[in-house]
Structure 1
Amino acid sequence: MILNRLFIIKFIKYSFVGIICTLIYFLTMFIFVELFHQEPVIGASISFIIMTLFSYLLNKKYTFGGKYSHQQLLRFLVVSIIGFTLNFIIIFTVVHVLSFHYAIGEIVTVLVIPLINFTLNNIWTFK
């Protein structure tokens, strides 16, 4: 019971950090694609890297806590690379294969990647 409650609280904190990081991602994506006229896959890639830096810092401090370790940072980067790869594949497929607007791909990434990242970070990175 207590374990489930702690898990739920951690997931809520992770979700809050995720909302902040998603806003950072969408803002930087908009800036790169709409203002700087970058190709959406490039904009998504750069935005994902920026968001990942904020995600690590906020999740380490706010969600998972604990002391800093190189092992956790490396594991977080592995999880981020998995998320980055999924993000790239989804955006590329939506924009270049299916010929949809990049915003459709962004919606898909927001639904898929955070669940995968939370699961991996919770059971592996910050365990």
Structure 2
Amino acid sequence: MINSKKMLMKFSTYSIVGIVSVAFYFLSIFIFVELFHQEPVLSSALAFLLMTLISYFLNKRFTFNSASSKKTFIKYLAVSGLAFVLNSTIMYAVVYIFSYHYSIGEIVTTLIIPLINFILNNYWTFKEK
């Protein structure tokens, strides 16, 4: 019971950090595409990279209460790299193969990628010793 309660609290904190990170992501992609008239897939990639840095520092501090270490940061970047590839692939497919508006791709990536990231970061990146 204690472990499931602890996991629920951790996932709740992760979700709050995720909401902040995703809000930053959506704001960034909106600015890149709508204000600076940049290409949607590239804009998504840039926004994703910026979001990754914000997410790392917030999750390290608030979700996983982890000390800074090069190894942890490298693992986080590896998980984020996988998420980046998935994000870009989904965006490409939605925009260029299925010809939907980029916002549909953003919704799809927002539903899939955070769950994968939580599992990998919880059980690998920030694994408690």
Do structure 1's residue 43 and structure 2's residue 34 form an aligned pair?
no
Give the gaps of 5 or more residues in structure 2: none
What is the identity, as a one-letter code, of the residue corresponding to 1:75? Answer: K
Cα RMSD (Å): 0.4
Distance 1:60 1:67 in 2: 7
With normalisation by structure 2, the TM-score equals: 0.98
Q: Which residue of 2 aligns with 1:112?
A: 112
CA–CA distance in structure 2, aligned partners of residues 35 and 86 of structure 1: 26
Using the alignment, how far apart are the partners of 1:38 and 1:60 within structure 2? 31
For 1:60, the equivalent position in structure 2 comes to 60
Q: Distance in 1 between matches of 2:43 and 2:69?
A: 31
- 1:124 corresponds in structure 2 to 124
How far does the alpha carbon of each residue in 1:9-37 deviate from its partner, in whole angstroms, 9 at most, with x for none?
00000000000000000000000000000
Q: What amino acid does structure 2 have at the position aligned with 1:36? A: F
What percent identity do the matched residue pairs reach?
A: 54
1:9 aligns with 2:9: yes
Letter in 2 for 1:125: T
2:99 and 2:33 map into 1 onto residues whose CA distance is 16
After the TM superposition, which segments of 4 or more aligned residues of structure 1 sit over 4 Å from their partners?
none
Name the CA distance, whole Å, in 2 between partners of 1:92 and 1:50.
Answer: 19
Query: 1:28 matched to which residue of 2?
Result: 28
**Alpha-carbon displacement from aligned partner over 1:4-63 (angstroms, at most 9, x marks no partner):** 000000000000000000000000000000000000000000000000000000000100
TM-score normalized with structure 1 length: 0.99
Structure 1 Cα separation of the partners of residues 57 and 117 of structure 2: 15
Pairing 1:103–2:107 present: no
Task: Find the counterpart in structure 2 of residue 85 from structure 1.
Answer: 85
Aligned length: 127
Question: What is the alpha-carbon distance in structure 2 between the residues aligned to residue 66 and residue 22 of structure 1?
Answer: 22
- Matched to 1:6, the amino acid is K
Work out the CA distance in 2 between the residues paired with 1:68 and 1:95. 38
Structure 1 unaligned spans of 5+:
none
